[in-house]
Amino acid sequence: MGWDCPGAVQFTPEGRAEELHQRAAELTPLTEHDIADRLRILQDQPASWTTPGEHWSLGGQQEKFALTWLEDQWHEAGGSAATTHIIKPGIKVLHHQALVEHVTMRAAAATGVSVADSRLLPFEDQWAIVIDRFDRVTVFDKVFRLHQEDFCQALGRLPERKYESVGGPGLRDMADLVRKQLTDPEDGLRALADFLAVNLVAGAPDGHAKNISLILAPDGNRSIAPLYDLASGLTYDPEAVERTVALSIGGERIFSRIRGKQWRKAAGILKLDTDLLTQRVATMAEAFPGAFETALAEIADAPGTPEVAERTLPALRQHCSEVLARLDE
Ligand SMILES: Nc1ncnc2c1ncn2[C@@H]1O[C@H](COP(=O)(O)OP(=O)(O)OP(=O)(O)O)[C@@H](O)[C@H]1O
Ligand SMILES: [Mg+2]
């Protein structure tokens, strides 16, 4: 593990760097059946994520694997090969979670947030979310790595501290980093504001500091990467009384306490114009339920779409109208 990581770093045990340099990309073509089998195995034995020839490594709690899409074909990436896509079957204990994640990301994109591209695809009877890696660029059948670091890495915090509630980075730490490190800090602060806003508007509980990254473009431009791992929680647990975002907004994480005052505080921390920020949140909250519905309609043939629509849309409409109303309080 470690020869193909998030970003452009590669890790190797001491003494094996030469092997890493010398081994070419070893790409093994996979059939749809092979991928379906990998998804099935993932369901049964989540520990066995990689096959022996693979060297990729990705963070995160959910089952996943990474493959390379090259010449209109999926490949297992061996040797020094870089993977181009992340494939996740969804969180097992939450019905149709991959579908919810895909639809949330598409809806966010439709409301103007920069989000990684994803598709929901069947491999035989196994459906999974397939996410384009924004830290890979394919040029004439060669895959190049771009460096990325998530906000825990960039701030030197361990993964155990990814949530602000357990001592992880807060908005102020993240904003300071953006101001110090990004080529266009203003643009970065607006992207950080979008991360706050879209997690609240989507009712997404997991926007922690490892779910947002910085990316270094080949021309040296440092910016916030497209968002990823964005999924509404409103589909699940309809009885939940106190829903929260992971990263506090103006000092509050509980949805019902995030009002105009908290957004004004957040604007102060981000040093963004208060009216522009609240207008952005309002526009997003107005558009999001419709965008979610449209994104669902685009995958109407996927199993679970009607249930997800039925469970999510009423809750989402209610939630977004509350987010809007609280902006004036
Ligand atoms: N589209 C992408 N392009 C490049 N890297 C990505 C992309 N999506 C995710 N990653 C990287 O892979 C890691 C794991 O992905 P992801 O966050 O989707 O997994 P997860 O297991 O659902 O995470 P969590 O533990 O937050 O639920 C991310 O932390 C990030 O470093
Ligand atoms: Mg994640």
Which of residues 124, 139, 154 is at a domain's end? 139
Ligand 1 proximal residues by C-beta, below 6 Å: 6, 58-62, 64, 86, 116, 131-135, 150, 206, 210-211, 228-229
Does position 136 have pLDDT exceeding 90, yes or no? yes
Distance 274 CA to ligand 1 centre (A): 31
Instruction: Reduce the secondary structure of 51-116 to three states and give it as a string.
Output: CCCECECCCCCCCCEEEEEECCEEEEEEECCCCCEEEECCCCCCCCHHHHHHHHHHHHHHCCCCEC
- The pLDDT value given to residue 54: 86
User: Domain residues for 102?
Assistant: 24-139
Does position 47 have pLDDT exceeding 90, yes or no? no
| Higher pLDDT, residue 52 or 31 | 31
Q: Which of 282, 289, 247 is nearest to 266 (CA)?
A: 247
Residues 230-260 have pLDDT tens digits of: 999 999 988 888 999 999 999 999 999 999 9
Distances (CA, A) of 199 to 80, 193, 255: 36, 10, 10
Same domain, 127 and 185: no
Same domain, 101 and 176: no
Which of residues 117, 139, 161 is at a domain's end? 139
Give the count of domains, the chain. Answer: 2
Beta bridge partners of 148: 215
Could you tell me if residue 269 is inside a domain? yes
Nearest atom within ligand 1 for CA of residue 118: 1
Could you tell me if residue 118 is inside a domain? yes
Same domain, 154 and 288: yes
Which of residues 115, 139, 163 is at a domain's end? 139
User: In whole angstroms, what is the distance from residue 4 CA to residue 136 CA?
Assistant: 11
User: In whole angstroms, what is the distance from residue 233 CA to residue 271 CA?
Assistant: 29
CATH code where residue 292 lies? 1.10.1070
